[in-house]
Amino acid sequence: MIWSLTFEQFAVGVATVIISIGLLQNAIYVVQIVLAAMSLSRNPPLKRTGALWERNAGVAPPISLLVPAYNEERSIVESVRSLLALLYPNIEVIVVNDGSTDGTMAALIKGFDLVPDTRPPAPGLPHKPFHRLLGTPDEPRLLVVDKENAGKADALNCAINFARSEIICVIDADSILERDALLRAVEPFIDDPERTVAVGATVRVANGCVVQHGHVLDVRLPRKLLALFQTIEYLRSFLMARLAWSHVGALTIVSGAFGLFRRQAVIDVGGYSTHTVGEDLELVIRLHRLMRDRGEDYRITFIPEPVCWTEVPETLRNLGRQRTRWQRGALETFFMHIDMMVKPRYGRIGSLSFLNMLLIDVISPIAEVLGYVLVPLFWGAGLLSLDYLLAFLSLTFAFGVAISAGALILEELELRRFPKILDLLRLVIAAVLENFGYRQLNNIWRVRGTFQFLRGKRSWGHLSRKGFIAAPKAEPEASAAQ
């Protein structure tokens, strides 16, 4: 009887801890929605591209776009052409072919009539050797570096050494920037040039969109449910979480798909780390550490309106690999810099950001997966009352729907990227359905990533991509008429 009572108390205690963690996690999400709404209301995005050009073109600093590429044969030429066509007064594009095993290099040579180039790299960051430099007299803004394979971080360090501009923009080779994205993203460097160190921007799901010559012609929602769920996730992550953390000066990540940095600051911290799969997160944490250690006044901020479009996985296999890797990267960075959480000089980064990482990245996935198993099991065994079971289910489902709905409301009130009522209805339905299986799968993948981290796994893994939907070709008669 005593053993039975003790076990019942244990069950109640476990359930209470799990539910408390869920409450704290959802409370953080609610605060993020409020902070994001405040930020958007105070700094509404400028709508017209023409007005943006008039305001920024004359004072916009030169930018070097750094494009690491590995096995991008199908899309690399169109991607580079779209970058060269961006609405920005002074850019250069540096493509680093990171030892591709397909025809990426051959496609670049053919697509741009590349010939040998002799630009010397500036001394700065270590990286694996490069084999050759290529350029073209027809497009002096383009430089291609063909180097030994060593991963994305090493390729970016190589590109940084060749960059001529003080502001660098990191972008994935398979991502698509809106034509005015740089004009929008560079604004913090224009408004506050002395303090701004890095700027993050919104990344959106391109699956389902119609793309032509590296530009999104028609914004459409994904056709597949798995990609639709990720559309909701990206809204929560960028429009809610990152905007909120930026608002309180505690932003810890600038997406590796699209982000701007002050080149010298990146060099000062040693560039991208090749010892983690979360190199984008880890770099920003090191930038915070450096600036705090120096006692400098600085800004690392997020702008919601510049948009980068990216393709997301449409199979459970690829998505599971991606989320497992993201979890490993978050844990690697957290424990690499865990001392920042207890040292007062790191301010909000230690007291807010690292505590948030501890809860969201370290504790919550394990707690939630344990909750899926233990709470129903304890209730079925008669060790927990129905109230505990209902409390756990309400946290898992009701709050999840409410948080997603909040992100959609922000989207509709401020940005309106999905003007069709039918699209909004589909997103609302997806926000409900993702709580019945998809959210649970994500936490299982994150727990798997935690175990891989504990075992010391370091590999990136491979993600296959389907490619974008191309715009239909014009009929010959129509083309002639134009």
Secondary structure (3-state) at 119: coil
Query: Do 176 and 207 touch, CB atoms closer than 8 A?
Result: no
Residue 441 falls inside a structural domain? no
* CA 227/CA 230 separation, integer angstroms: 5
* CA 87/CA 177 separation, integer angstroms: 10
**Residue 338: DSSP 8-state:** G
Q: Which residue has the tokens 């978050």?
A: 330
Residue 389 falls inside a structural domain? no
Half-sphere exposure of 56 (CA within 13 A, CB side): 26
- Report the interhelical angle of 386-394 vs 2-42 (nearest 10°): 20
Residues 6+ apart with CB under 8 A from 237: none
User: Residue 464: its pLDDT value, please?
Assistant: 58
Query: Do 115 and 136 touch, CB atoms closer than 8 A?
Result: yes
Residue 367 falls inside a structural domain? no
* CA 306/CA 424 separation, integer angstroms: 21
Residue 3 falls inside a structural domain? no
User: Residue 383: its pLDDT value, please?
Assistant: 84
Residues 6+ apart with CB under 8 A from 425: none
Number of domains in the chain: 1
User: Residue 477: its pLDDT value, please?
Assistant: 39
Residue 392 falls inside a structural domain? no
Residue 2 falls inside a structural domain? no
Report the candidate in 43, 16, 289, 294 with the shortest Cα–Cα distance to residue 184: 43
User: Residue 482: its pLDDT value, please?
Assistant: 33
Residue 147 falls inside a structural domain? yes
* CA 181/CA 75 separation, integer angstroms: 20
Half-sphere exposure of 345 (CA within 13 A, CB side): 11
Strand (E) or helix (H) holding 303: strand 299-310
User: Residue 121: its pLDDT value, please?
Assistant: 86
List the CATH number of the domain containing 134. Answer: 3.90.550.10
Secondary structure (3-state) at 422: helix
Region of 249 (left: φ > 0; alpha: ψ -120 to 50; beta: rest) is left
- Got the DSSP string for 362-409? IIHHHHHHHHHHHHHHHHHTTSS-HHHHHHHHHIIIIIHHHHHHHHHH
Strand (E) or helix (H) holding 123: none
Residues 6+ apart with CB under 8 A from 29: 240, 399, 403
User: Residue 5: its pLDDT value, please?
Assistant: 56
Structure tokens at 300: 């690392």
Pairing of strands 469-470, 210-212: parallel
Strand (E) or helix (H) holding 146: strand 142-147
Rounded to two decimals, the pTM is 0.91
* CA 253/CA 356 separation, integer angstroms: 13
Residue 370 falls inside a structural domain? no
Region of 71 (left: φ > 0; alpha: ψ -120 to 50; beta: rest) is left
Pairing of strands 210-212, 167-171: unpaired
Query: The domain containing residue 258 runs over which residues?
Result: 26-355+463-470
pLDDT in tens, the chain (482 residues): 444 557 788 888 888 899 899 889 989 999 999 999 898 888 777 667 788 888 888 899 999 999 999 999 988 999 999 999 999 999 999 999 999 999 999 999 999 999 999 888 888 899 999 999 999 999 999 999 999 999 999 999 999 999 999 999 999 998 999 999 999 999 999 999 999 999 999 999 999 988 887 788 888 899 999 999 999 999 898 888 999 999 999 999 999 999 999 999 999 999 999 999 999 999 999 999 999 999 999 999 999 887 899 999 999 999 999 999 999 999 999 999 999 999 999 999 999 999 999 999 999 999 999 999 998 898 888 888 888 888 888 888 888 888 888 888 887 776 677 767 888 889 989 999 998 899 999 999 999 999 999 998 876 655 556 655 555 554 443 333 33
* CA 172/CA 98 separation, integer angstroms: 12
Give just the sign of the alpha carbon dihedral 176, 178, 180, 183: negative
User: Residue 366: its pLDDT value, please?
Assistant: 96
